[in-house]
Amino acid sequence: MDPRSLENELTCAVCLHVYQDPVTLPCQHSFCLKCIEGVWAQKTVPGGFECPRCRRKFNQKPRLEKNTTLYNIVEKYKQSQSSLETLGARCDSCDDKPFPAAKTCLTCLASFCFLHLRPHLRNKAYQDHTLIDPMADVTDRQCTDHKKLLEFYCKDEDVCLCVSCTITGKHKFHTLLSLNEAQADIKEKLGREIEKLQEDQETYSRKQRNLDRSADDIKIQLNKLKENILKNFAEWRSKLEEDEASTLRLIDEEGLYTLTQIRSHSGALNKMIELVASVNGKNQSLLQRDPLSFIQNSRQLLSRVTETRTVIEPNVPEVTLNLSGIFQHLQDKLNSWENYHSDILGIIMPSSIRDTGLLNVTPSQHNSSGAAPVPTKVSSPLTTIDKEAEKSLESASTPEHSDAVSKTPSQESVSEAATDQEKILQPSSGIDGTTEISQRKSPLSLDPKTANCNLILSDDLRSVMWTDQQQPYSPHPKRFKYLPQVLCSQSFSSGSHSWDVATDGNYWRIGIVYGSVEREGEVSSLGNSSKSWSLDFIAGYLTARHNSQITVLPLLPSVNRIRVQLNYEAGTLSFYQVTDSLKHLHTFQTTFTEPVFPAFYSWDKSLKLLSST
């Protein structure tokens, strides 16, 4: 069938366009639903309906049946037309109105609609012609130089060629392939690349799965951390409530005891007041009588007054609240709270820094026990190793002469005797760049006047040990009141100095302080003010602290011996782990403005001075 004839068969006689929702009348003529409804709506004569094509009349409005067969044909026709229109090629054999092309013949270099394509499909004369999907411009398949069909592929230059290019052109000595061979070759290469791409995709998918698993694991860890934190804080709150109740109970008991004493003394005084008032009342009554009666009764009244005066005067001491027991009770409770700090740090730190080894801690308020805050974000610690050459030992003054610079004769003799008797650890450069160790005895000694009452000092004043029993130390303005801290008797105001400390226990601090550092309150804790610097070991974690600024340092397998190196003029304070060699831990850089004292904080077990230079 001619394409135009098919289009005519699918055209509505009213609107002259391809059917839209075709319906059929009893006379078997079809129209668009809207078209026939529109025609009948314009009828001016009431009653009677007729077919617009055959003029057959109907007494009643006929029932309009949807022509399903015609509807399906129309839809397929529209789809084919739309598909052909999308390709953009028109039939070269149609005369007036070219129909969309169904195929393009590369041999004829022409496009044909489905009607004019029939000879290529039926006649043997066209069986060798190459048919492809319709093309709007077949010149894309032609050689730009020779206007011939592209039939070969140059492997050297990756271009398609015509026959003339292979004979007379610059490609005649190149490696040539037919289009089919080239297609197979390129398919093989493309396949290999696709395989690699698929391998990459599998790698990406595997990494994505790992990320998803990590996200799930992290969610589990977060929930577990939250549960542990909630549990610990709940226990802490419960402990706080218990401590609050016990403290209030002690206050009530002390108040009751004190008020009972006051009431007892008050009762005795009230009796005396009543006795005196009674005598005074009789005296007033006697004064109102006549002289004779007054004289006769005065002897008895005088006797009563004398008797009243001889009554023992009640002892009424000054009554005050005795808060020492309550104070000690609170101090013990505050000390026990340190365990909760350690427990919470033990929950958070392993998951956040055990792998990275580095963590920076933001400043926070500390309670009177000096507990460390919880770490928050990752940062790098100082890595510059103090390479100042160690100088000979400078004199260390007593607290009464802390500004002195030169050695006293007694200090020199102690140092010389120690040098002759023992070897101590001193750093010297090794071949591999590490620092080797030698030995000498320490001239530093701990100052008993500064020791907190929960510390016990050794007889040689070089060791300190924590105890939960208060020691009967006499009051002194330089003594640390609430924190287990002690200073050395010696201070440094110039030169370079070094001393080693043997550490034990799970909670200690080592550092230096100005002599003017506070002796009580939060700021008295090592590292909690601008007047002190310290290296802290808390619940298995190593930190450096100054002015409440904390830097968490890499975890170490063991911390049994620490070296402190001070260069007063350079303003550096460095800490090293001492094993077979020295491992740098941290360096503070500042400008010292006062003499500094070696300082120690021991919460459990002991610290011991081993060496100094």
- State the Cα–Cα distance between residues 299 and 98, nearest whole angstrom: 159
Here the tokens at position 527 are 């590292």
Q: How is residue 469 annotated by DSSP?
A: S
Task: Look at residue 116 in the predicted model and tell me its pLDDT.
Answer: 86
Task: Look at residue 53 in the predicted model and tell me its pLDDT.
Answer: 86
DSSP string computed for 146-163:
T--B--EEETTTTEEE-H
Phi, psi dihedrals of residue 426, rounded to the nearest 5°? -135, 140
DSSP string computed for 423-449:
-----EE-TTS-EE---------B-GG
Residue 518 has pLDDT above 90, yes or no: yes
Name the helix (H) or strand (E) containing 272: helix 179-287
Residue 486 has pLDDT above 80, yes or no: yes
Task: Look at residue 485 in the predicted model and tell me its pLDDT.
Answer: 95
Range 523-527, long-range pairs (CB < 8 A, 24+ positions): 524/480, 524/481, 524/482, 524/483, 524/485, 525/366, 525/370, 525/483, 525/485, 525/601, 526/370, 526/485, 526/599, 526/601
Q: How many residues does the chain have?
A: 613
pLDDT digits (tens, 9 = 90+) for 87-99: 567 888 887 677 7
Here the tokens at position 187 are 């398919």
Name the helix (H) or strand (E) containing 25: none
pLDDT band of 348, cuts 50, 70, 90: low
- State the Cα–Cα distance between residues 340 and 350, nearest whole angstrom: 16
Least-confidence region, from 39-53, 111-125, 337-351:
337-351
Determine the Cα angle at 355 with ends 351 and 356, to 5°: 105
- State the Cα–Cα distance between residues 244 and 258, nearest whole angstrom: 21
pLDDT digits (tens, 9 = 90+) for 163-219: 878 777 677 778 888 888 888 988 998 999 999 999 999 999 999 999 999 999 999
pLDDT digits (tens, 9 = 90+) for 243-302: 888 889 988 988 898 888 888 888 888 887 887 888 788 777 777 777 877 777 777 778
- State the Cα–Cα distance between residues 585 and 435, nearest whole angstrom: 14
Task: Look at residue 1 in the predicted model and tell me its pLDDT.
Answer: 46
Q: How is residue 477 annotated by DSSP?
A: T
pLDDT digits (tens, 9 = 90+) for 360-404: 333 333 333 333 333 333 333 332 323 333 333 233 333 333 333
Task: Look at residue 390 in the predicted model and tell me its pLDDT.
Answer: 33
The stretch 470-479 carries a mean pLDDT of 93
Sign of CA dihedral 385, 391, 397, 401: negative
To 10 degrees, the CA torsion angle through 603, 606, 607, 610?
180
Residue 351 has pLDDT above 50, yes or no: no
Residue 554 has pLDDT above 80, yes or no: yes
Task: Look at residue 346 in the predicted model and tell me its pLDDT.
Answer: 66
- A 10 A CB-CB count for 548 gives 19
3-state secondary structure of 277: helix
pLDDT band of 336, cuts 50, 70, 90: low
Is residue 164 within 8 Å of residue 148, measured between CB atoms? Answer: yes
Q: Model-level pTM?
A: 0.36
Residue closest to 562 by CA, chosen among 610, 495, 519 = 610
Which segments of 339-492 are extended strands (E)? 359-361, 428-429, 435-436, 455-457, 463-466, 485-487
Number of alpha carbons in the 13 Å side-chain half-sphere of residue 303:
5
To 10 degrees, the CA torsion angle through 300, 302, 305, 310?
-100
Q: Is 312 left (phi over 0), alpha (psi -120 to 50) or beta?
A: beta
Task: Look at residue 229 in the predicted model and tell me its pLDDT.
Answer: 86
DSSP string computed for 598-611:
EEEEESSSEEEEEE
H helices of 94-178, where? 118-122, 163-167
